[in-house]
Amino acid sequence: MILLNLGLFLFSLIILIKFAGYAIKYSSRLAKALHLPEFLVSFFIIAVISVLPEATISIISAFRGEAELGLGTLLGSNVADLTLVFGIVTLFSSGGIQVKSKILNDKFFYLILLLFPLLLGFDGKFSRIDGIILITLGVLFFFRTYMESKRFRKKFNNQKKEPFKKSLFLLILSLAVIIASAYFTVKFAINFSMDAKISEILIGLAIVALGTCLPELIFSIKAVRNNHDELALGDILGTVVADATIILGLVAIISPFTYNPSSIYVTGGAMFLAGIFVITFMKTDKSINKKEGLLLLFFYILFLILEFMVNHLIKF
């Protein structure tokens, strides 16, 4: 049964990732048809679609009473986004990721958002009050970013006119498949973790979180290869903020949960440190160069090693 559950889990995850890519594709086409600014599209629309895999997995996990899997998926995917994804995207770029946007001028507010999951979860539990606080912070951040983004007037150029109704239908179909595949991903991940006697939070951190990062990784690589660095930045940063605040808040409201505090110490701490590194690199020379990208990749490897060591000690 262990191999069957593993196979079904991986198959469900692959379907989830594939249709998340389709959702990004068709949502982007809809946004282009509506003539929305490029940064606005990436930070809100594409980032919202990118966050759907981990969001659906986490919310379904909460409804099933397995919120620890959701916690590991959300925070683990954030660490991967800020280190692994940024690092790989930087290596695929021609001269690093250029930071032209002034959206993150107030870096203090962004880092505070990444620190809140660590502060609220320091006692080893997330309550509904914690969830409300996180959602409120996330909504405030996105509202503020939306107001700031009005200064960005760059439009999609040379865009091919796409049938609106066709794109809308395919987007809705992709979202339906995402929700269904997320349900089975959670189901078979839990079954596999029970068969293999592996903690659910570790499954979320090491396997599910890595898989759910693929949509934004693929999209961001395509963006920088086509000299749309703003799209890559908006997608990754928008996804991270949504995961750390709104989605985690929803999980806590649906199903308040407790866990071993060491999980949040390591993962939440790594997410905050990764945020500091990324913001610092972005501020130095208005770009994240290839050397800094390699440092981010090295940080992710260290994070995984530390996470496995901590979970091994907890287990025994």
Per-residue pLDDT of 129-148, as tens digits, reads 999 999 999 998 888 777 76
What lies within 8 Å, CB to CB, of 35 at 6+ separation is: 155, 156
Nearest Cα to Cα of residue 105 among 283, 276, 284: 283
Q: What is the CATH number of the domain that holds 170?
A: 1.20.1420.30
Range of the domain at 43: 2-153+161-315
Tell me the pLDDT tens digit for each residue of 4-60. 988 998 898 888 778 877 877 777 777 677 666 655 665 666 677 778 778 888 888
pLDDT of residue 294: 94
Can you tell me whether residue 126 is helix, strand or coil?
strand
Number of domains within the chain: 1
Burial 247-271 (b: 16+ CB within 10 A, else e): bbbbbbbbbbbebeeebbebbbbbb
Copy the structure tokens of residue 236: 């990754």
Helical (H) or strand (E) element with 258: strand 257-258
Q: If 0-12 CB within 10 Å is exposed, 13-18 middle and 19+ buried, where does residue 145 land? A: buried
Mean pLDDT of 90-95: 83
Q: What is the mean pLDDT of the chain?
A: 79
Q: Which amino acid is at 225?
A: R
**What does the CA dihedral 211, 215, 218, 220 come to, rounded to 10 degrees?**
-120
Buried b (16+ CB within 10 A) or exposed e, 96-116: bbbbebebbeeeeebeebbbb
Collect all residues with Cβ–Cβ distance below 8 Å to 60 and sequence separation of at least 6. 182, 183, 186
**What's the whole-number mean pLDDT along residues 276-281?**
89
Lowest-pLDDT range of 65-74, 162-171, 187-196, 307-316: 307-316
Tokens of 219: 């999209």
Q: Is the pLDDT confidence value at 270 over 80?
A: yes
Total-model pTM: 0.77
Number of residues assigned to the chain: 316
pLDDT digits (tens, 9 = 90+) for 160-175: 555 777 877 888 888 7
